[in-house]
Amino acid sequence: MDFSGISDNLSYLLLGAYPDGPLGGAALTLLLASLSGLASAVLGLVLGVALAVLPGKPRLLLVALLGFFRAIPVLMLIFWTYFLLPIVFHVDVPALAPVVCALSLIGGAYLAHSVYAGIHSLPAGQWAAARALGLRPWQVLRLVILPQALPVMLPSFLNPVSYTHL
């Protein structure tokens, strides 16, 4: 087997045309994965907690919004954000911003349901016991519920990395 084509172009495969041109190759994939993964984790945690604590109609609205982002294809959302972000905000958007935004929205929607499932996997007695000790609801969530639910949620936090292949 002749691997000279790979070895001759290894720097291009890893970095693209950088520093003379745009970043590409494996470095671009790692950058997209880290940025969208971090944004997805934050968004998923916030939306998952909101999903667990919101009552009635606001919760139904959030479920519908999350369902929309979970149902739409990743490539379609990248396309929409690439063309709609400049129109809506009337600014020139950097090329990576729509991709990171789209990957973060879809990853955050999936992670929100994982956070919700992790929170509801614990017995209701955990909430009641922490409230009986005098903790406020947000303290219960931060100090008692989320640390126990984290092992259940943790495997799902690695899924947004798999979307960067697009």
Note the pLDDT tens digit of each residue in 60-118: 999 999 999 999 998 999 888 888 888 888 888 888 888 899 999 998 999 999 999 99
110 located within any domain: yes
Structure tokens belonging to residue 21: 């041109």
Torsion angle of the four alpha carbons 50, 52, 58, 60, in this order, in degrees rounded to the nearest 10: 130
Report the predicted TM-score, pTM, of the whole model to 2 decimal places: 0.80
Q: Would you list the DSSP string of 95-138?
A: THHHHHHHHHHHHHHHHHHHHHHHHHTS-HHHHHHHHHTT--HH
CATH number at residue 137: 1.10.3720.10
Q: Is the pLDDT of residue 166 over 60?
A: no
pLDDT tens, residue by residue, 64-74: 999 999 999 98
The parent domain of residue 77 ranges over 28-165
The answer to whether residue 19 sits within a structural domain is no
Tell me whether residue 77 is in a domain: yes
